């Protein structure tokens, strides 16, 4: 298992190693020790989510208020998705920067994003499964979004896909509007949270 930081600080991609024989394939898709060595703290597991999406289903950009925020560890065991991480932390030198990773079942990878970062993905194949571990449970009053088609973000969505968004994501503000409304976490809040977790 190889791990490297993405263009968005505090987000990582993990290249997984599948082992196969005549019976099929086996993959270690999560290793707490590998992740903790990179981040300096472990992932507190509070909830595990699983979605199945038709081609074109676009979910995000979602984030949670910090503290506690919601770190995510994302894996695609079947199908194919383009996974996107966005720095929505006000005060971050990389505020508004994004990075994207193709997650699929043929060349398995996982993405980790720390508390305070924005997350989205689009399904590139019918019945794409995404499984993700999260550090805090669902809390509707503390979870928000930024519109995934915000031209300021200019996210790398493929041109050959017809997108399907939820009503909530369609109504989400732009990054600038979310900032003006005070919805975004700050780098100071996130750094304090990471320091707390390392302690």
The catalytic site residues sit at 62, 132
Sheet of 58-64: strands edge to edge?
Answer: 98-104, 80-86, 118-123, 58-64, 143-145
Q: Are 7 and 94 in contact (CB under 8 A)?
A: yes
Question: How many angstroms from the chain centroid is the CA of residue 93?
Answer: 19
- Residues 68 and 86: their CA atoms lie apart, in Å, by 18
Secondary structure, 3-state, 1-47: CEEEECCCCCEEEEECCEEEECCEEEECCCCHHHHHHHHCCCCCCCE
What sign does the dihedral 63-64-67-68 (CA atoms) show?
negative
Q: State the Cα torsion 157-81-84-31 to the nearest 10°.
A: -170
∠ CA 178-69-16 to the nearest 5 degrees? 110
């Amino acid at each position: 298992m190889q791990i490297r930081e993405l263009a968005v600080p505090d987000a990582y991609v993990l290249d997984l190693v599948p082992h196969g024989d005549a019976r099929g394939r086996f993959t270690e898709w999560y290793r707490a020790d590998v992740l903790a060595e990179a981040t300096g703290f472990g992932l507190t597991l509070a909830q595990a989510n699983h979605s199945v999406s038709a081609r074109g289903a676009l979910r995000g950009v979602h984030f949670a208020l910090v503290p506690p925020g919601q770190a995510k560890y994302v894996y695609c065991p079947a199908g194919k998705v383009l996974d996107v991480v966005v720095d929505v932390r006000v005060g971050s030198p990389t505020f508004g920067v994004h990075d994207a990773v193709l997650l699929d079942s043929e060349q398995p990878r996982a993405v980790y994003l720390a508390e305070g970062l924005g997350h989205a993905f689009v399904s590139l194949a019918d019945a794409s499964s995404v499984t993700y571990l999260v550090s805090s449970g669902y809390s509707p009053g503390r979870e928000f979004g930024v519109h995934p088609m915000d031209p300021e973000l200019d996210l790398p969505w493929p041109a050959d896909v017809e997108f399907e968004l939820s009503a909530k994501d369609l109504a989400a503000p732009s990054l600038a509007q979310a900032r003006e409304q005070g919805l975004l976490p700050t780098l100071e809040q996130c750094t304090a949270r990471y320091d707390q977790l390392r302690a």
